[in-house]
Structures are given as structure tokens and as C-alpha cells.
């Protein structure tokens, strides 16, 4: 295992462990009497988190035997040819699982947007973008070529926040035509001073590819305040309203 991975692992694990502790869980029976045991357990947590996230089913006896064989330099129980065949089986299972999850996500998104669009305070455009005006401003409306200053919070349908200028304590500046289609459309409908809640179908967001922190096919929810239209300048700000060729910004 590379040293860089080992140093990064505690940071990666922290969010997974905190997430696991959010609800009532059965307490682990593991006894960790020394640092080696704790390191081993930490590596196991990371691997277990990855396996769970991928929706894979493991035979723990076979898994433990494989790790033991590798550490003790034994001849593997599978030949190279057999492992190649198993890799194909694994790929097929993962593809089937991904398809199942995608179909479930699509159905949930369609049901949400249908119910949400029926609310009288929500407007739906021809593209499928939905928005709710929380506050209507009185200023000018930006053009596609303008740079705007906005405050925003982006979340998934389950409430998971993936990006927020509020958390960073300062608004973000964006070139309107460098953003995801849902934002490009919404911003040109807003007046400066407006605060809207956007409901963006995946085809107006990140589509089936997703992006870091946003799964494939995700419907996005944004609370957004249009603060001002700025003179042309280099945009700077958050990550998750931006589309294909726009500059990359780190998710906070």
C-alpha cells in the first residue's frame, strides 16, 4: 500500500465513520488492544465502506483467506485465467447493480418532480426546470454573457448538502454561460435581489455522468440569491453549479 494512501486514509475515513454514527447502530465487538490492531481495523473500515458503497456482496471467509494468503506469500487459490473470468463476473454484477440503482433514482426523481411541480408556488419551464420564488427582486436581469455574484446552497433530494457559499462565508462570482444548463436558464429569469429555490432535473444538471459529490442522474435542489451583475472579470467561487468547459472549483 502506498504511503500517500496511508496518510490520506484517516481523512477519507472520518466522514464515513461520522456518517455511520449518525443513527443508532449495533456496537462493534472488535477488541483493539494495540496500534497494529487499530491500524488494521481502520483499513478494514475503509475497505468495508467502499464495498458497501458499491453494493457488493462478500464472502468474508474467502476474503479473509485471500488477505492471509497474500500476506503469507502463499500460492493463490485462483489461477490468472480464473481471476480474469471472475473479473468479468464482477463487472457484470456491478453494471447490473448500477443499472438497478439508476432506475430507482430515476423513478424517485420523476415522482418528486411530478409532485413538486403540482405545488401552486412552483413554476415549471418548458425545459423541465422548476423554481419557487422566495423573494422577488427589482433589479435588472443578467444576460448569458454577464458575470454575476450569487449566494447559494446546493443539495440532493435526500437533503445532503454538496456545496454552499454560505458555509464559506462569501458569495461566488460566475460567468452565466459557464454554468450547468439549469443555472444558465434560471439566472436569466431572475432579477437582482431575488432569492429562488431551484429544482433541477439531471438533464439540466450533471446528467448520467454525475461529478464529485453528485451521483449520476441526480436531481439537484439549489437555494440561490442573485446579489449583483458584475463587470466582466475572472469568475471565482464554488464548484457544483458549473458545467462542462467552465473552470474547476473545489467542493467545500
DSSP string across 95-160: HHHHHHHHHHHHHHHHHHHHHHHTSTTEEE-TTS-EEEEEE---SPPPPTT-EEEEEEEEEETT--
Three-class DSSP category at 231: coil
List the catalytic residue out of 131, 146, 152, 200. 152
pLDDT at 64: 92
CATH number (3.40.50.720, 3.10.50.40, 3.40.50.150, 3.40.50.1820) of 124-230 reads 3.10.50.40
Domain layout of the chain by residue ranges = 3-13+32-77, 124-230
List the catalytic residue out of 174, 206, 214, 239. 206
Distance CA 201, CA 62 (A): 42
pLDDT at 23: 54
List the catalytic residue out of 131, 174, 199, 222. 222
List the catalytic residue out of 180, 199, 214, 239. 180
Task: Give the residue ranges of the chain where pLDDT is below 50.
Answer: 1-16, 18-20, 235, 244-252
Distance CA 140, CA 193 (A): 9
Known catalytic membership, residue 41: no
Known catalytic membership, residue 166: no
Distance CA 235, CA 206 (A): 20
pLDDT at 6: 41
| pLDDT tens, residue by residue, 36-67 | 999 999 999 998 888 887 778 899 999 999 99
pLDDT at 249: 27
List the catalytic residue out of 131, 162, 174, 199. 162
pLDDT at 3: 42
pLDDT at 200: 98
Q: With beta carbons less than 8 A apart as the criterion, state whether 215 and 183 touch.
A: no
DSSP at 176 = G
pLDDT at 12: 46
List the catalytic residue out of 131, 146, 163, 200. 163
Report residue 51 as a C-alpha cell: 464495498
Known catalytic membership, residue 199: no
Known catalytic membership, residue 180: yes
pLDDT at 49: 86
pTM above 0.75, yes or no: no
Distance CA 105, CA 219 (A): 9
Locate all alpha helices (DSSP H) within the chain, ordered by sequence.
Answer: 3-20, 35-54, 60-71, 80-117, 165-168, 181-187
Amino acid at each position: 500500500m502506498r504511503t500517500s494512501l496511508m496518510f490520506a486514509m484517516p481523512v477519507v475515513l472520518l466522514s464515513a465513520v461520522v456518517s455511520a454514527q449518525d443513527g443508532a447502530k449495533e456496537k462493534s465487538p472488535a477488541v483493539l488492544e494495540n496500534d497494529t490492531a487499530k491500524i488494521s481495523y481502520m483499513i478494514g473500515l475503509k475497505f468495508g465502506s467502499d464495498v458497501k458503497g458499491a453494493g457488493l456482496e462478500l464472502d468474508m471467509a474467502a476474503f479473509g483467506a485471500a488477505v492471509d494468503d497474500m500476506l503469507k506469500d502463499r500460492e493463490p487459490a485462483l489461477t490468472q485465467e480464473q481471476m480474469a473470468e471472475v473479473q468479468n463476473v464482477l463487472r457484470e454484477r456491478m453494471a447490473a447493480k448500477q443499472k438497478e440503482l439508476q432506475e430507482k433514482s430515476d423513478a424517485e426523481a420523476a415522482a418528486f418532480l411530478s409532485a413538486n411541480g403540482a405545488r401552486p408556488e412552483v413554476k415549471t419551464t418548458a425545459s423541465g426546470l422548476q423554481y419557487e420564488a422566495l423573494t422577488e427582486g427589482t433589479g435588472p436581469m443578467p444576460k448569458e454573457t454577464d458575470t454575476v455574484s450569487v449566494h447559494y446552497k446546493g443539495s440532493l433530494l435526500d437533503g445532503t448538502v454538496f456545496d454552499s457559499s454560505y458555509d464559506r462565508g462569501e458569495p461566488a462570482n460566475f460567468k452565466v454561460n459557464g454554468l450547468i444548463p439549469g443555472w444558465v436558464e434560471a439566472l436569466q429569469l431572475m432579477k437582482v435581489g431575488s432569492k429562488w429555490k431551484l429544482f433541477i432535473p439531471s438533464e439540466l444538471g450533471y446528467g448520467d455522468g454525475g461529478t464529485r459529490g453528485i451521483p449520476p442522474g441526480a436531481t439537484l435542489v439549489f437555494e440561490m440569491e442573485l446579489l449583483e451583475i458584475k463587470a466582466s472579470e475572472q469568475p471565482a467561487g464554488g464548484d457544483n453549479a458549473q458545467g462542462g468547459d467552465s473552470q474547476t472549483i473545489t467542493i467545500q
